[in-house]
Structure 1
Amino acid sequence: MKRSIIIVFSTLLFAFSALADNIDTYKFSSVDQEQQYRHLTESLRCPKCQNNSIADSNAMIAGDMRLKVYELLQSGQTPDEVKAYMVARYGNFVTYEPPLLPSTLILWAGPALFVIVGALVIILRSRKRQPSEAELDAEQQARLDELLKNNGKQS
């Protein structure tokens, strides 16, 4: 019994040490540079995971992107230059706030246009369904009046 407990604990120990290999450890020249790195890795989207930042993703491409951000910051580039490099390499998708361009205009205006068109369709269809008295011809109107009179006498 004692031996099996030792085996389980040693297996868990090795499993946790294997997970520790996946942690990035970088040395920064200043605290400001480290904060810039953290902010950049949180603001860039992983191309593989799509809903995670490269800081949160375990994908290999996210690891490569984190390394490239670190290297570019170490070479003296500003955060804007690093972001511009990533956009040039991976496209506007890597930013969580893509710029408003003619090619992305439908993405920005699409939902609003969809709601407006839907509201117009509902309004126009509801107006067509409401019959008005003007739509009845003289014969139909006379028959309606007679039915209303007969109904009033029965009660």
Structure 2
Amino acid sequence: MDTADPIIDEIASRWRALLAGEATRQSTVRWAQAQLTNQSWTHEVAHRGLQLLNDLHHERWTVAGALGCERSRADYVRWAADVESFRADPVSWYRVYSLEFLDRLPEYMRDRTAAMFVAAGYLRAGDVPQTESKTGT
């Protein structure tokens, strides 16, 4: 699986600029929102990064920026580790992502979504947990 997605490096660069005080929260959020609107990503790990940057518009930052900045820094560190994991083994990353995603869905949506993940190659049919209605319990 090709892990090339130029937007990943751009997300990281913009996030680091924000944390260094070289960019404003508002400009960073506007940029992320534009990328989300244009669906500018190839891989879900990039989509996650854009969503996290977009979430900054909900944050209430103090004058010193300490509370919002520290949360953003922690989010960045987790996301950067996620990117590293993705680049090291994208097949395993997508498998974990897909299973976690399915687990958060209401049961009635799982079979259809699992079929889409299998069709996309993110999961194998044997990876998909059986719903109660299929197991008869």
Q: TM-score range by the shorter chain?
A: under 0.3
TM-score with structure 2 setting the length: 0.25
Q: Which has the larger radius of gyration?
A: 1
TM-score with structure 1 setting the length: 0.23
